[in-house]
Amino acid sequence: MMKDLGLLLLGVWLVVSGAQELLALDFRHDEVIMALLGIAAGVLIVVRR
């Protein structure tokens, strides 16, 4: 369950990160949100290994 959640968060991070660059998306606090999403995904993936 946790591994799947980590991979899901990683997938969301990758999609949003790519969309931001490709479509020049900008939203409030996007750097903080992306950093927290990346950290959460990384921690969940590492904890399950």
Listed in sequence order, the residues at least 6 apart from 5 whose beta carbon sits closer than 8 Å to its beta carbon are 44
Q: Which two tokens stand for residue 18?
A: 């790519």
**pLDDT > 70? residue 1:** no
The one-letter amino acid at 31: E
Give the model confidence (pLDDT) of 14-43 as tens digits.
998 888 888 887 888 888 989 999 999 888
For residues 17 and 38, the answer to whether their CB atoms sit within 8 Å is no
Unique residue bearing structure tokens 């990384």: 42
The predicted pLDDT at position 9 comes to: 87
| Domain residue ranges of the chain, discontinuous segments joined by + | 2-48
Band (48; pLDDT cuts 50, 70, 90): confident
The one-letter amino acid at 2: M
Band (2; pLDDT cuts 50, 70, 90): low
